[in-house]
Amino acid sequence: MSNDDPAFSEQHALDVIQQTLALARTAGATAAEAAYGQSAGLSVTVRMAELETLQHQRDKSLQVTVYLGHRKGSASTTDLRTEALRKTVEAAHAIARHGGEDPCAGLVEPELLAREQPQLDLFHPWDLSPEQAIEIARRCEQAARAFDRRITNSEGASVRASSGVHAYGNSNGFCGAWRASAQRLSCAVIASDEGGMQQDYDHSVARRWQELRAAEEIGRRAAQRAVRRLGARKIPTTTVPVIFESRIATSLFGHFAGAISGGSLYRRSSFLVDHLQRQVFPPWLQVREEPFLPRELGSRPFDDDGVVPQPRHIVENGILKSYLLGGYSARKLGMKPTGNAGGITNWRLSHGGEDLSELTRRMHRGLLVTELMGFGVNSVTGDYSRGASGYWVDEGEIRHPVEEVTIASNLKDMFGGIVAIGGDLEMNAAIRTGSVLIERMTIAGK
């Protein structure tokens, strides 16, 4: 995809939105909104030096929602011809006519809409040929396979380049669009010895391909991680401190984001219902949302309701300061939207300067978790129980790999029991956190 492809221009996306809203007005809607997205990409996977998959992807989708007072109907299409758009609007109109009244249904107030849209430098398409992608993937996998003779198999190395445009508009006078790109390089390999086999991976994600880590570095790192896991064993059941390595520590704060999201709150299906302005984390911990950081993975100029997000503290001095609300959930809760329709933007967590080895010394004895399995998290109660693997730490040093254990606690206790966040920040996610040391968890082993 090139910079000047007219099908992916912001103006083309805005034209589609405006045409759709005009058709909704003609159909008699009292209000309407439309969202349009189009994307294109190339993905390649090489396994054992041979091409395994090569895919060109090109998608587009339009969703329109019409309101008849407080009755709502939605429909979608991939056909952008005028007649197809008209039929889509008519389908949404028919659903609204037969729908029930919902006093919270409707567009957000005009004064909340993003009238100015910052330039966030999100669009850097990678002009990558299939031959170039295959060569990069091969270099990545070859570096992994050459790292150690115990690397005996591969799940493959993958390269993906994607770009697209997103637009949203409504009958309150808002219409906006932005373009964005995302590039990814990953590798997963298998190490084996007389004791068995272990798999691990490494990856890099960025808006600009120039900011991806080197293919050879990713391959070597994937191999190093896989080899290091050889000889893993169970440990006895115990209660000890736990470190979540940075790349899985993001999941902890993902559970937190889900618990303070409007849909969970108004349904009262969250363990953090009624916790606004209450202590959730230790007093030293801050979580700040920064929606306008240039080239970052979570940046956007407006949310799915057209609301401008605001830089703000989600958590300040350990106290929950803000929920994550779209227009509908805000009305259900009697609050104002926060610009989070569609989820979070960039989260930045306070952290110390300790690297992972310093955190393990601080922990002294416990479990370093590097992989999680299963989905044993109860969002209503906060109960947490997941399969895990990693490394046993004693006297501040890694002693041996660990597998087939279950770690368990409650997310409230885990959040309140965070002792430290390291400076080894995970760069491949919108949630920027280092490794997290938690005071204690139950480890179910042999």
Whether 400 and 384 have beta carbons less than 8 Å apart is answered as no
User: Residue 4 — very low, low, confident or very high, per pLDDT cuts 50/70/90?
Assistant: low
pLDDT higher than threshold 90 for residue 437? yes
Q: Which residues pair with 184 in a beta bridge?
A: 160, 205
HEC sequence for 354-369:
CCHHHHHHHHCCEEEE
The burial class, CB within 10 Å (0-12 / 13-18 / 19+), for 393 is buried
Distance, CA of 223 to CA of 203 (rounded, Å): 12
The burial class, CB within 10 Å (0-12 / 13-18 / 19+), for 240 is buried
Whether 177 and 184 have beta carbons less than 8 Å apart is answered as no
Q: What mean pLDDT is predicted for residues 425-433?
A: 96
The CATH number for 6-227, chosen from 3.40.50.1970, 3.30.2290.10, 3.40.50.1460, 3.30.2350.10, is 3.30.2290.10
pLDDT higher than threshold 60 for residue 246? yes
**What average pLDDT is seen over the chain?**
96
Q: Which residues contact 137 (CB under 8 A, 6 or more apart)?
A: 44, 45, 46, 156, 157, 158, 159, 185, 215
Q: What mean pLDDT is predicted for residues 363-386?
A: 96
Q: What mean pLDDT is predicted for residues 414-419?
A: 98
pLDDT higher than threshold 70 for residue 3? no
Q: Which residues pair with 287 in a beta bridge?
A: 315, 349
pLDDT higher than threshold 80 for residue 1? no
Whether 177 and 10 have beta carbons less than 8 Å apart is answered as yes
pLDDT digits (tens, 9 = 90+) for 318-373: 999 999 999 999 999 999 999 999 999 999 999 999 999 999 999 999 999 999 99
Q: What mean pLDDT is predicted for residues 105-122?
A: 93
For the whole model, what pTM was predicted? 0.95
Q: Which residues contact 259 (CB under 8 A, 6 or more apart)?
A: 270, 271, 272, 379, 382, 411
pLDDT at 372: 97
Query: What one-character DSSP code corresponds to residue 66?
Result: E
pLDDT higher than threshold 60 for residue 2? no
Q: What mean pLDDT is predicted for residues 302-315?
A: 96
Handedness of CA 16, 19, 21, 27 (dihedral sign): negative
Whether 188 and 199 have beta carbons less than 8 Å apart is answered as yes
Whether 436 and 244 have beta carbons less than 8 Å apart is answered as yes
pLDDT at 365: 98
Hey, where are the domains in the chain?
6-227, 232-446
Nearest to 52 by CA among 119, 126, 138: 138
Residue with tokens 């990693």: 390
Whether 345 and 288 have beta carbons less than 8 Å apart is answered as no
Q: Which residues pair with 46 in a beta bridge?
A: 51, 157
DSSP conformation letters of 413-441 = HHHHTEEEE-S----SSSEE---EEEEEE
SS3 at position 292: coil
Nearest to 278 by CA among 312, 322, 333, 310: 322
Quote the distance between the C-alpha of residue 143 and its chain's center: 28
Helix and strand numbers (H, E) in the chain are 9, 17
More confident residue, 430 or 115: 430
